[in-house]
Amino acid sequence: MSELVSYRLDEGVATLTLCNGKANAISHDVLASLNRALDQAALDQAIVILTGQAGMLSGGYDLKIMTASPQDAIALVTAGSTLARRMLSHPYPVIVACSGHAVAKGAFLLLSADYRVGVDGPFTIGLNEIRIGMTMHHVGIELARDRLGKAAFQRAVINAEMFNPQSAKEAGFLDQVVAPEDLSGAANAMAQQLKKINLQAHRQTKLKVRKQLLDTLDRAIELDKTTGLS
């Protein structure tokens, strides 16, 4: 698909792999590549597996862009929030295979998927916005509110608590934790399981279940544009 996001189709499963440096930083180019990959996966009618390099799903948004100007930061966050909404409403199941660290936007990728499997080990998962002096954006709050447990939501968003893979599963960032060597197999096993469901019913049910969340995210995206990130 591109140097930033590779695309591999294998018997109805499209694997999208992020590859943008050590931190897999999320930039406008990465988001554009992810959108193109999702376009292709929809054309291929494929179940999606999104993953990263060994040890790193993503460390979050590209800080060079986020610190360039308030306008640049808002534009990048808006594009990322729009991707999150798209993942939540994608017509085919979306699995995220978390290959290691998932911080800030990396963690929000987990909160935007239908199923999340991560690797055990000395990895950090969570929302560090408060730690780096950034007021949490409205979309981030609503995503976390919907997918995390009530207590974990408060700890993750307000206190910027970071989690290891096992505690991230308890919090609601992950559904399954496996050994690093088992990640690909576990993600593909879930993809094969999801092949057995009626995908049209999956799509229609997903939209019904998430209608309130999707409507909330639409409003939150617009609110973030007008209120900024401070």
> What pLDDT was estimated at residue 1?
54
Q: Is the dihedral of CA 88, 172, 144, 21 positive or negative?
A: negative
pTM: 0.96
> What pLDDT was estimated at residue 105?
98
Q: Kindly give the parts of the chain with pLDDT less than 70.
A: 1-2, 230
On whether the 5-181+194-227 domain is CATH 3.90.226.10, my answer is yes
Q: Smallest Cα–Cα separation from 117: which of 53, 58, 192, 168? A: 168
Residue type, 131: R
Encoded tokens for 153: 């939501």
Q: Smallest Cα–Cα separation from 120: which of 186, 176, 63? A: 176
Residue with tokens 């469901």: 197
> What pLDDT was estimated at residue 178?
98
> What pLDDT was estimated at residue 225?
93
> What pLDDT was estimated at residue 2?
67
> What pLDDT was estimated at residue 228?
79
